[in-house]
A = this chain, B = another copy of it.
Amino acid sequence: MYYEPKIKEECGVFGIFGRKNAAQLAYFGLHSLQHRGQESAGIVTVDEGQFYLHKEMGLVTSVFTETNLAGLIGDRAIGHVRYSTTGSSNVLNAQPLLVNSGKGTLSLAHNGNLINSLAIREYLESEGSIFHTTLDTEVVAHLIARSRERDMEKSLIDALNQIKGAFSIVMLTEEALYGIRDPHGIRPLALGKIADDYVLASETIALDIVGAEYIRDVEPGEMVVITGDGLRSVRYADRQCSFCVFEFIYFARPDSNIAGLNVHLARMEMGKMLAREITDPVDIVVPVPDSGISAAQGFAEEKGIPLQWGLIKNRYVGRTFISPEPEIRDLKVRLKLSPIYEIVAGKRVLLIDDSIVRGTTSKRIIKMLREKGAKEVHFAVSSPPVSYPCFYGLDTSNRGELIAAGMNRAEICKYIGADSLTYLSQAGMLKAVEKSDLGFCTACFDGNYPIGEGMGKFSLEEGRKSCAR
Protein backbone atom coordinates (compact mmCIF):
# COMPACT_ATOMS: atom_id res chain seq x y z
CA MET A 1 0.00 0.00 0.00
CA TYR A 2 2.86 2.41 0.61
CA TYR A 3 4.21 3.98 -2.48
CA GLU A 4 7.60 4.49 -0.99
CA PRO A 5 9.93 2.42 1.12
CA LYS A 6 10.63 3.15 4.73
CA ILE A 7 14.01 4.72 4.44
CA LYS A 8 16.68 4.07 6.96
CA GLU A 9 18.67 7.20 7.18
CA GLU A 10 21.49 8.87 9.02
CA CYS A 11 21.16 12.62 9.27
CA GLY A 12 22.48 15.72 10.95
CA VAL A 13 20.45 18.40 12.72
CA PHE A 14 21.21 21.94 13.89
CA GLY A 15 19.26 24.58 15.80
CA ILE A 16 20.01 28.08 16.97
CA PHE A 17 17.98 30.67 18.87
CA GLY A 18 18.51 34.37 19.38
CA ARG A 19 21.37 35.10 16.99
CA LYS A 20 21.19 37.63 14.23
CA ASN A 21 22.02 35.84 10.96
CA ALA A 22 20.67 32.60 12.35
CA ALA A 23 20.41 31.13 8.84
CA GLN A 24 24.03 31.95 8.02
CA LEU A 25 25.14 30.21 11.21
CA ALA A 26 22.90 27.23 10.48
CA TYR A 27 24.53 27.08 7.07
CA PHE A 28 28.00 26.80 8.60
CA GLY A 29 26.71 24.29 11.12
CA LEU A 30 25.20 22.10 8.41
CA HIS A 31 28.38 22.43 6.37
CA SER A 32 30.33 20.89 9.22
CA LEU A 33 27.73 18.11 9.51
CA GLN A 34 27.82 17.36 5.81
CA HIS A 35 29.39 13.92 6.41
CA ARG A 36 26.13 12.91 8.12
CA GLY A 37 24.09 13.33 4.94
CA GLN A 38 24.89 14.42 1.38
CA GLU A 39 21.54 13.97 -0.23
CA SER A 40 19.56 17.04 0.72
CA ALA A 41 19.85 20.05 2.98
CA GLY A 42 17.36 22.52 4.39
CA ILE A 43 16.95 25.43 6.77
CA VAL A 44 13.81 26.94 8.31
CA THR A 45 13.81 30.29 10.08
CA VAL A 46 11.10 32.26 11.78
CA ASP A 47 10.74 36.00 12.06
CA GLU A 48 7.79 37.80 13.62
CA GLY A 49 5.59 34.75 13.32
CA GLN A 50 6.46 34.22 9.69
CA PHE A 51 8.30 31.05 8.65
CA TYR A 52 10.88 30.85 5.86
CA LEU A 53 12.03 27.61 4.29
CA HIS A 54 14.62 26.57 1.75
CA LYS A 55 15.43 22.94 1.09
CA GLU A 56 16.79 21.15 -1.94
CA MET A 57 18.54 18.02 -3.07
CA GLY A 58 22.33 18.34 -2.98
CA LEU A 59 25.25 19.35 -0.80
CA VAL A 60 24.98 22.29 1.59
CA THR A 61 27.30 24.39 -0.58
CA SER A 62 25.13 23.90 -3.65
CA VAL A 63 21.72 24.08 -1.97
CA PHE A 64 22.34 27.46 -0.35
CA THR A 65 23.34 30.61 -2.16
CA GLU A 66 23.90 34.13 -1.03
CA THR A 67 20.46 34.98 -2.36
CA ASN A 68 18.42 32.24 -0.75
CA LEU A 69 20.26 32.56 2.56
CA ALA A 70 19.45 36.26 2.56
CA GLY A 71 15.77 35.35 2.25
CA LEU A 72 15.87 33.22 5.39
CA ILE A 73 15.40 36.04 7.84
CA GLY A 74 15.01 35.81 11.58
CA ASP A 75 17.11 35.17 14.67
CA ARG A 76 16.19 31.50 15.08
CA ALA A 77 16.67 28.59 12.74
CA ILE A 78 16.77 24.83 12.42
CA GLY A 79 18.59 22.91 9.73
CA HIS A 80 19.01 19.39 8.45
CA VAL A 81 21.26 17.34 6.19
CA ARG A 82 20.00 14.01 4.99
CA TYR A 83 21.33 10.82 3.59
CA SER A 84 19.11 8.16 2.14
CA THR A 85 19.97 5.04 0.32
CA THR A 86 17.23 4.56 -2.22
CA GLY A 87 16.46 5.95 -5.61
CA SER A 88 13.23 7.26 -4.28
CA SER A 89 14.82 10.20 -2.60
CA ASN A 90 13.37 13.52 -3.67
CA VAL A 91 12.82 17.00 -2.38
CA LEU A 92 9.41 16.10 -0.93
CA ASN A 93 11.29 13.92 1.55
CA ALA A 94 13.89 16.57 2.39
CA GLN A 95 13.81 18.15 5.85
CA PRO A 96 13.05 20.24 7.87
CA LEU A 97 9.34 19.58 7.56
CA LEU A 98 7.18 22.70 7.81
CA VAL A 99 3.46 22.26 8.50
CA ASN A 100 0.50 24.19 9.76
CA SER A 101 -1.58 22.74 12.55
CA GLY A 102 -4.17 23.80 15.05
CA LYS A 103 -1.33 24.19 17.52
CA GLY A 104 0.41 26.66 15.23
CA THR A 105 3.06 26.34 12.59
CA LEU A 106 5.64 23.64 13.33
CA SER A 107 8.99 22.90 11.81
CA LEU A 108 10.82 19.69 12.61
CA ALA A 109 14.14 18.08 11.74
CA HIS A 110 14.90 14.55 12.80
CA ASN A 111 17.91 12.27 13.11
CA GLY A 112 17.17 8.63 13.81
CA ASN A 113 14.52 6.12 13.02
CA LEU A 114 11.23 5.23 14.69
CA ILE A 115 10.38 1.57 14.92
CA ASN A 116 6.67 2.04 15.43
CA SER A 117 6.08 4.65 12.78
CA LEU A 118 4.30 2.26 10.43
CA ALA A 119 1.96 1.17 13.19
CA ILE A 120 1.26 4.80 14.07
CA ARG A 121 0.76 5.72 10.42
CA GLU A 122 -1.76 2.95 9.98
CA TYR A 123 -3.59 4.07 13.05
CA LEU A 124 -3.54 7.72 12.00
CA GLU A 125 -4.69 6.86 8.50
CA SER A 126 -7.54 4.84 9.89
CA GLU A 127 -8.41 8.01 11.80
CA GLY A 128 -8.45 10.04 8.60
CA SER A 129 -4.94 11.46 8.43
CA ILE A 130 -3.11 11.74 5.15
CA PHE A 131 0.62 11.36 4.62
CA HIS A 132 2.65 13.28 2.07
CA THR A 133 6.04 11.80 2.83
CA THR A 134 7.62 8.68 4.26
CA LEU A 135 9.43 10.67 6.93
CA ASP A 136 9.16 9.75 10.60
CA THR A 137 9.10 13.47 11.14
CA GLU A 138 5.65 13.59 9.61
CA VAL A 139 4.41 11.03 12.11
CA VAL A 140 5.66 13.21 14.96
CA ALA A 141 3.97 16.28 13.50
CA HIS A 142 0.67 14.43 13.25
CA LEU A 143 0.90 13.28 16.85
CA ILE A 144 1.56 16.81 18.06
CA ALA A 145 -1.34 18.16 16.02
CA ARG A 146 -3.70 15.46 17.24
CA SER A 147 -2.76 15.66 20.90
CA ARG A 148 -5.64 16.49 23.19
CA GLU A 149 -3.34 18.81 25.08
CA ARG A 150 -3.83 22.43 24.14
CA ASP A 151 -0.39 23.62 25.00
CA MET A 152 2.40 23.08 22.47
CA GLU A 153 4.87 21.74 25.00
CA LYS A 154 2.43 19.28 26.47
CA SER A 155 1.32 18.20 23.03
CA LEU A 156 4.93 17.55 22.14
CA ILE A 157 5.50 15.45 25.24
CA ASP A 158 2.31 13.62 24.43
CA ALA A 159 3.69 12.82 21.00
CA LEU A 160 7.09 11.81 22.33
CA ASN A 161 5.47 9.32 24.65
CA GLN A 162 3.91 7.54 21.71
CA ILE A 163 6.88 7.18 19.44
CA LYS A 164 9.40 4.42 19.90
CA GLY A 165 12.88 4.25 18.45
CA ALA A 166 15.83 6.52 17.96
CA PHE A 167 15.30 10.24 17.59
CA SER A 168 17.23 13.39 18.09
CA ILE A 169 14.85 16.14 17.09
CA VAL A 170 15.10 19.89 16.78
CA MET A 171 11.79 21.67 16.47
CA LEU A 172 11.04 25.32 15.82
CA THR A 173 7.80 27.13 16.61
CA GLU A 174 7.04 30.81 16.64
CA GLU A 175 8.12 31.06 20.27
CA ALA A 176 10.61 28.34 20.96
CA LEU A 177 13.38 26.06 19.81
CA TYR A 178 13.11 22.52 21.18
CA GLY A 179 15.89 19.94 21.41
CA ILE A 180 14.87 16.37 22.14
CA ARG A 181 16.67 13.05 22.53
CA ASP A 182 14.92 9.72 22.76
CA PRO A 183 14.91 7.96 26.14
CA HIS A 184 17.76 5.66 25.05
CA GLY A 185 19.81 8.52 23.68
CA ILE A 186 20.71 6.52 20.62
CA ARG A 187 21.57 9.43 18.35
CA PRO A 188 23.74 12.31 19.59
CA LEU A 189 22.62 15.89 20.28
CA ALA A 190 24.95 18.43 21.77
CA LEU A 191 24.11 21.75 23.42
CA GLY A 192 26.29 24.83 23.14
CA LYS A 193 26.22 28.53 23.85
CA ILE A 194 27.36 31.71 22.12
CA ALA A 195 27.21 34.54 24.62
CA ASP A 196 23.68 34.11 26.04
CA ASP A 197 22.28 32.25 23.06
CA TYR A 198 21.84 28.52 22.62
CA VAL A 199 22.85 26.19 19.83
CA LEU A 200 21.92 22.54 19.26
CA ALA A 201 23.79 20.21 16.91
CA SER A 202 24.28 16.55 16.16
CA GLU A 203 28.01 16.96 16.73
CA THR A 204 30.23 19.34 18.68
CA ILE A 205 32.17 20.29 15.56
CA ALA A 206 29.09 22.24 14.47
CA LEU A 207 29.20 24.17 17.74
CA ASP A 208 32.90 24.94 17.24
CA ILE A 209 32.37 26.21 13.72
CA VAL A 210 29.80 28.81 14.78
CA GLY A 211 31.96 29.87 17.72
CA ALA A 212 29.74 28.25 20.36
CA GLU A 213 31.06 26.73 23.53
CA TYR A 214 30.06 23.15 24.27
CA ILE A 215 27.90 22.94 27.40
CA ARG A 216 26.77 19.34 27.56
CA ASP A 217 24.88 16.73 25.58
CA VAL A 218 21.11 16.81 25.69
CA GLU A 219 20.35 13.81 27.87
CA PRO A 220 18.40 10.72 26.89
CA GLY A 221 14.75 11.37 27.71
CA GLU A 222 15.38 15.09 27.99
CA MET A 223 13.73 17.92 26.15
CA VAL A 224 15.29 21.38 26.26
CA VAL A 225 13.03 24.33 25.57
CA ILE A 226 14.84 27.47 24.43
CA THR A 227 12.91 30.75 24.38
CA GLY A 228 13.64 34.41 24.88
CA ASP A 229 13.70 33.63 28.59
CA GLY A 230 16.57 31.19 28.26
CA LEU A 231 16.75 27.41 28.50
CA ARG A 232 14.50 25.11 30.44
CA SER A 233 15.10 21.38 30.78
CA VAL A 234 12.19 18.95 30.85
CA ARG A 235 12.68 15.28 31.55
CA TYR A 236 9.83 13.69 29.63
CA ALA A 237 10.97 10.07 30.11
CA ASP A 238 13.39 7.95 32.13
CA ARG A 239 16.95 7.72 31.01
CA GLN A 240 18.29 4.33 29.90
CA CYS A 241 21.36 5.21 27.90
CA SER A 242 22.07 3.03 24.84
CA PHE A 243 24.17 5.33 22.70
CA CYS A 244 24.98 4.08 19.20
CA VAL A 245 28.59 2.93 19.46
CA PHE A 246 28.85 3.19 15.68
CA GLU A 247 29.00 6.96 16.01
CA PHE A 248 32.36 6.46 17.72
CA ILE A 249 33.49 3.76 15.29
CA TYR A 250 32.60 5.31 12.02
CA PHE A 251 29.99 7.98 11.73
CA ALA A 252 31.02 11.03 13.75
CA ARG A 253 33.81 13.30 12.65
CA PRO A 254 37.14 12.67 14.42
CA ASP A 255 37.21 16.27 15.59
CA SER A 256 33.87 15.92 17.39
CA ASN A 257 33.54 14.97 21.04
CA ILE A 258 30.72 12.82 22.35
CA ALA A 259 29.99 12.91 26.07
CA GLY A 260 33.35 14.56 26.49
CA LEU A 261 35.29 11.86 24.68
CA ASN A 262 37.08 12.88 21.48
CA VAL A 263 36.14 10.62 18.60
CA HIS A 264 39.62 10.42 17.09
CA LEU A 265 41.07 9.43 20.44
CA ALA A 266 38.35 6.81 20.89
CA ARG A 267 39.23 5.37 17.51
CA MET A 268 42.94 5.36 18.38
CA GLU A 269 41.99 3.52 21.56
CA MET A 270 40.12 0.93 19.49
CA GLY A 271 43.33 0.51 17.50
CA LYS A 272 45.26 0.01 20.71
CA MET A 273 42.78 -2.59 21.95
CA LEU A 274 43.08 -4.32 18.60
CA ALA A 275 46.87 -4.34 18.98
CA ARG A 276 46.50 -6.23 22.21
CA GLU A 277 44.33 -8.82 20.55
CA ILE A 278 46.65 -9.48 17.62
CA THR A 279 49.86 -11.37 18.19
CA ASP A 280 51.00 -12.51 14.77
CA PRO A 281 53.97 -10.51 13.54
CA VAL A 282 53.68 -8.11 10.58
CA ASP A 283 56.18 -5.65 9.10
CA ILE A 284 54.03 -2.61 8.53
CA VAL A 285 50.64 -1.25 9.49
CA VAL A 286 48.73 0.40 6.62
CA PRO A 287 45.48 2.28 7.20
CA VAL A 288 42.69 2.20 4.66
CA PRO A 289 42.37 5.95 4.19
CA ASP A 290 40.59 7.87 5.58
CA SER A 291 38.40 5.54 7.65
CA GLY A 292 41.19 3.41 9.14
CA ILE A 293 43.69 6.16 9.98
CA SER A 294 42.83 6.80 13.62
CA ALA A 295 42.72 3.12 14.57
CA ALA A 296 45.90 2.35 12.63
CA GLN A 297 47.61 5.21 14.44
CA GLY A 298 46.60 3.74 17.80
CA PHE A 299 47.55 0.25 16.70
CA ALA A 300 50.99 1.34 15.53
CA GLU A 301 51.66 3.29 18.68
CA GLU A 302 50.63 0.42 20.92
CA LYS A 303 52.52 -2.16 18.94
CA GLY A 304 55.59 -0.09 18.15
CA ILE A 305 55.28 -1.08 14.50
CA PRO A 306 55.55 1.73 11.96
CA LEU A 307 52.35 3.03 10.39
CA GLN A 308 53.03 3.42 6.67
CA TRP A 309 51.03 5.11 3.90
CA GLY A 310 50.85 2.11 1.67
CA LEU A 311 47.54 3.26 0.24
CA ILE A 312 46.95 6.75 -1.13
CA LYS A 313 43.49 8.24 -1.52
CA ASN A 314 42.61 10.37 -4.54
CA ARG A 315 41.15 13.66 -3.30
CA TYR A 316 39.10 14.11 -6.50
CA VAL A 317 36.69 11.28 -6.82
CA GLY A 318 33.26 12.57 -7.80
CA ARG A 319 30.82 10.56 -9.83
CA THR A 320 32.88 8.87 -12.46
CA PHE A 321 31.29 7.51 -15.55
CA ILE A 322 32.55 3.97 -16.17
CA SER A 323 31.53 2.31 -19.40
CA PRO A 324 29.62 -0.94 -19.04
CA GLU A 325 32.62 -3.06 -20.00
CA PRO A 326 35.74 -1.44 -18.63
CA GLU A 327 38.87 -3.24 -19.73
CA ILE A 328 40.62 -2.31 -16.53
CA ARG A 329 40.14 -4.53 -13.51
CA ASP A 330 38.97 -3.05 -10.24
CA LEU A 331 38.75 0.38 -11.80
CA LYS A 332 36.26 1.72 -9.30
CA VAL A 333 38.56 1.09 -6.37
CA ARG A 334 41.64 2.17 -8.31
CA LEU A 335 40.10 5.57 -8.97
CA LYS A 336 39.80 6.05 -5.22
CA LEU A 337 42.84 4.30 -3.78
CA SER A 338 46.26 3.37 -5.03
CA PRO A 339 49.01 1.39 -3.34
CA ILE A 340 52.67 2.45 -3.22
CA TYR A 341 54.93 -0.31 -4.43
CA GLU A 342 58.03 0.88 -2.59
CA ILE A 343 56.20 0.64 0.71
CA VAL A 344 54.35 -2.62 0.41
CA ALA A 345 56.59 -4.76 -1.81
CA GLY A 346 58.05 -7.71 0.03
CA LYS A 347 56.33 -6.75 3.26
CA ARG A 348 53.93 -8.49 5.60
CA VAL A 349 51.24 -5.83 5.56
CA LEU A 350 48.56 -5.37 8.18
CA LEU A 351 45.68 -3.37 6.70
CA ILE A 352 43.45 -1.60 9.21
CA ASP A 353 39.94 -0.33 8.63
CA ASP A 354 37.08 0.61 10.93
CA SER A 355 34.59 -1.88 9.51
CA ILE A 356 33.77 -4.23 6.67
CA VAL A 357 30.29 -3.87 5.24
CA ARG A 358 29.98 -5.80 2.00
CA GLY A 359 33.61 -6.86 1.66
CA THR A 360 33.95 -5.99 -2.02
CA THR A 361 36.21 -2.98 -1.52
CA SER A 362 38.39 -4.81 0.99
CA LYS A 363 38.78 -7.66 -1.47
CA ARG A 364 39.92 -5.32 -4.24
CA ILE A 365 42.36 -3.46 -2.02
CA ILE A 366 43.99 -6.70 -0.93
CA LYS A 367 44.30 -7.79 -4.53
CA MET A 368 45.95 -4.49 -5.49
CA LEU A 369 48.42 -4.81 -2.62
CA ARG A 370 49.38 -8.33 -3.68
CA GLU A 371 49.87 -7.14 -7.26
CA LYS A 372 52.26 -4.53 -5.91
CA GLY A 373 54.31 -7.26 -4.26
CA ALA A 374 53.05 -7.42 -0.67
CA LYS A 375 54.30 -10.73 0.78
CA GLU A 376 51.36 -11.16 3.13
CA VAL A 377 48.21 -9.09 3.57
CA HIS A 378 46.48 -9.33 6.91
CA PHE A 379 43.29 -7.42 7.63
CA ALA A 380 42.26 -6.05 10.99
CA VAL A 381 39.00 -4.30 11.76
CA SER A 382 38.74 -1.92 14.70
CA SER A 383 35.21 -3.05 15.55
CA PRO A 384 33.37 -6.38 15.82
CA PRO A 385 31.62 -7.90 12.80
CA VAL A 386 28.34 -6.17 11.90
CA SER A 387 25.94 -9.08 11.74
CA TYR A 388 22.60 -7.50 12.51
CA PRO A 389 20.68 -4.71 10.83
CA CYS A 390 20.21 -1.37 12.56
CA PHE A 391 16.64 -0.22 13.05
CA TYR A 392 17.61 3.02 14.72
CA GLY A 393 18.87 5.10 11.89
CA LEU A 394 22.08 3.72 10.41
CA ASP A 395 21.84 2.35 6.95
CA THR A 396 23.04 -1.16 7.73
CA SER A 397 19.51 -2.30 7.54
CA ASN A 398 19.56 -4.60 4.59
CA ARG A 399 20.92 -7.73 6.19
CA GLY A 400 21.47 -9.34 2.83
CA GLU A 401 24.21 -6.84 2.11
CA LEU A 402 26.10 -7.38 5.38
CA ILE A 403 28.86 -9.86 4.71
CA ALA A 404 29.09 -10.77 8.39
CA ALA A 405 25.42 -11.64 8.48
CA GLY A 406 25.97 -14.54 6.13
CA MET A 407 29.58 -15.62 6.63
CA ASN A 408 31.78 -16.42 9.57
CA ARG A 409 35.21 -14.90 10.06
CA ALA A 410 37.05 -17.63 8.18
CA GLU A 411 34.69 -17.35 5.24
CA ILE A 412 35.02 -13.59 5.07
CA CYS A 413 38.78 -13.89 5.31
CA LYS A 414 38.75 -16.26 2.36
CA TYR A 415 36.32 -14.08 0.42
CA ILE A 416 38.39 -10.93 0.73
CA GLY A 417 41.58 -12.92 0.08
CA ALA A 418 43.42 -11.94 3.25
CA ASP A 419 46.10 -14.03 4.94
CA SER A 420 44.30 -13.43 8.21
CA LEU A 421 41.32 -11.43 9.40
CA THR A 422 40.86 -10.10 12.89
CA TYR A 423 37.93 -8.16 14.34
CA LEU A 424 38.18 -6.21 17.54
CA SER A 425 36.31 -8.01 20.31
CA GLN A 426 33.14 -6.39 21.61
CA ALA A 427 34.74 -6.17 25.03
CA GLY A 428 37.74 -4.41 23.53
CA MET A 429 35.54 -1.98 21.68
CA LEU A 430 33.55 -1.12 24.79
CA LYS A 431 36.75 -0.75 26.79
CA ALA A 432 37.94 1.78 24.19
CA VAL A 433 34.95 4.05 24.79
CA GLU A 434 34.46 3.52 28.51
CA LYS A 435 35.76 6.98 29.33
CA SER A 436 32.58 8.39 27.85
CA ASP A 437 30.71 6.84 30.74
CA LEU A 438 27.84 6.01 28.43
CA GLY A 439 25.74 2.91 28.01
CA PHE A 440 25.79 1.62 24.45
CA CYS A 441 23.59 0.05 21.84
CA THR A 442 25.54 -2.84 20.33
CA ALA A 443 22.63 -4.36 18.47
CA CYS A 444 24.38 -4.44 15.09
CA PHE A 445 27.07 -6.62 16.64
CA ASP A 446 25.09 -8.85 18.95
CA GLY A 447 21.43 -8.46 18.05
CA ASN A 448 20.48 -7.08 21.44
CA TYR A 449 18.04 -4.39 20.39
CA PRO A 450 17.44 -2.10 23.37
CA ILE A 451 14.11 -0.84 22.03
CA GLY A 452 13.12 -3.89 20.02
CA GLU A 453 12.95 -4.34 16.29
CA GLY A 454 9.44 -3.04 15.98
CA MET A 455 7.71 -3.52 12.69
CA GLY A 456 10.61 -2.16 10.84
CA LYS A 457 12.05 -5.33 9.53
CA PHE A 458 8.95 -6.72 7.97
CA SER A 459 7.64 -3.55 6.46
CA LEU A 460 11.06 -2.75 5.14
CA GLU A 461 10.97 -5.70 2.80
CA GLU A 462 7.49 -4.71 1.73
CA GLY A 463 8.53 -1.15 1.20
CA ARG A 464 11.53 -1.98 -0.92
CA LYS A 465 9.34 -3.71 -3.45
CA SER A 466 7.36 -0.64 -4.09
CA CYS A 467 10.10 1.87 -4.55
CA ALA A 468 8.78 4.69 -6.64
CA ARG A 469 8.31 8.41 -6.59
Q: Are A21 and B314 in contact (CB under 8 A)?
A: no
Contact B32 A335 (CB under 8 A): yes
B146 and A125 within 8 A (CB): no
Any B CB within 8 A of the CB of A283: no
A129 to B132, Cβ gap below 8 A? no
Tell me which residues across on chain B come within 8 A of A301, comparing CB atoms: 306
Contacts of A65 in B (CB 8 A): 321
- Interface-facing stretch out of A100-108, A232-240, A397-405: A100-108
The winner among A126, A331, A469 for most chain B CB atoms within 10 A is A469
Cβ contact of A264, chosen from B51, B121, B312, cutoff 8 A: B312
Partner of A145, one of B98, B129, B316: B129
**Chain B minimum-CB-distance residue to A104:** B1
CB distance from A52 to the nearest CB of B (A): 5
Please judge, given known A-B contacts A50-B468, A141-B130, A309-B297, whether A1 and B100 are in contact too, CB under 8 Å: yes
Give the docked Cα–Cα distance between A69 and B38 (Å): 26
Whether a CB of chain B sits under 8 angstroms from the CB of A277 is no
Interface residues of A in 52-94 (CB under 8 A from B): 52-53, 59-62, 64-66, 69, 91-92
**How far apart are the CA atoms of A294 and B130 in the complex, in Å?**
46
Q: Which of A178-186, A339-347, A373-381 contacts B (4 or more CB under 8 A)?
A: A339-347
Indicate whether A254 reaches chain B with its CB closer than 8 angstroms: yes
**Nearest CB in chain B to that of A268: its residue:** B309
Interface residues of chain A: helix, strand, loop or mixed (majority): mixed
Is the C-beta of A31 less than 8 angstroms from some C-beta in chain B?
yes
Q: In the complex, A210 Cα to B329 Cα: how many Å?
A: 9
Q: Are B102 and A328 in contact (CB under 8 A)?
A: no
Known: A66-B321, A131-B100. A338 touches B208 (CB 8 A): yes
Judging by beta carbons under 8 Å apart, are B50 and A3 in contact? yes
What is the total number of copies of this protein in its complex?
4
Q: Mark contacts of A311-355 with chain B using CB atoms, 8 A cut-off: 1 yes-contact digit, 0 otherwise.
A: 010111011110100111101001100111111000000000000
A206 CB to nearest chain B CB (Å) = 11
Q: Is A99 within 8 A of B130, CB to CB?
A: yes
Does A370 count as interface, using CB distance less than 8 angstroms?
Answer: no
Interface presence of A466 (CB below 8 A)? yes
| CA–CA, A401 and B321, complex, Å | 38
Known: A101-B130, A125-B145, A340-B254. A208 touches B316 (CB 8 A): no
- Pick from B27, B326, B469: contact of A52, CB under 8 Å: B469
Nearest CB on B from A250, distance (A): 14
In the assembled complex, A28 has its CB within 8 A of some CB on chain B: yes
Q: Mark A292-308, 1 if CB is under 8 A from B, else 0.
A: 01100100010000110
A255 contacts chain B at the CB level, 8 A cutoff: yes
Instruction: For A50, give its contact among B50, B146, B254, B466 (CB under 8 Å).
Output: B466
CB under 8 Å from chain B, chain A span 94-139: 97-102, 104-106, 121-122, 125-132, 138
**What are 26 of the A-B contact pairs (CB < 8 Å)?**
A21-B323, A28-B320, A31-B314, A31-B320, A34-B316, A35-B315, A52-B468, A52-B469, A59-B316, A61-B318, A66-B321, A98-B132, A99-B130, A99-B131, A100-B131, A101-B125, A102-B126, A102-B128, A125-B145, A209-B328, A209-B331, A209-B338, A255-B340, A262-B340, A290-B315, A293-B309
